[in-house]
Amino acid sequence: MKILHTDNASAPAGHYSQAIEHQGLLYISGQLPVSADGTHNIGASFAEQAQIALNNLLAILNAAGGSAQSLIKVTVYVAGVKHWPAFDKVYAEMIGAHRPARAVVPVPELHHGYLVEIEAVAALA
């Protein structure tokens, strides 16, 4: 296994890695809307939070040599199902035409009061 880290995404705030590469797959830990410099964005709109979390995920994926087209499975946790349409819009804009498998899971709350957290599995060639 190879532990991956990039300064272009928020640093882990607990006992975990940004991502682990194993046998050609990249497992990206849940990304909250924390900017790469550590700035918390709790007061940002849902769409802004989704963009920041996706930026983190894509930065980690890019640092591993992948791209949005490398994504196999994405799991999204949203604080309330009402945010699903807004997430889908931001996600489609940022991921593009590629359509990896995905689950959107409504939850009552997320750490620090954030509205979205995103984790993923990607294939690295």
The predicted structure's pLDDT at residue 102: 97
Range of the domain at 79: 2-123
- pTM strictly above 0.85: yes
Look at the chain and report how many structural domains it folds into: 1
CATH of the domain at 15: 3.30.1330.40
pLDDT digits (tens, 9 = 90+) for 31-58: 999 999 999 999 999 999 999 999 999 9
Q: What is the dihedral of CA 72, 111, 115, 62, to 10 degrees?
A: -40
- Which helix (H) or strand (E) segment holds residue 102: the answer is strand 101-107
Task: Give the span between the Cα atoms of 24 and 77, in whole angstroms.
Answer: 25
As to burial, measured by CB atoms within 10 angstroms (0-12 exposed, 13-18 middle, 19+ buried), residue 75 is middle
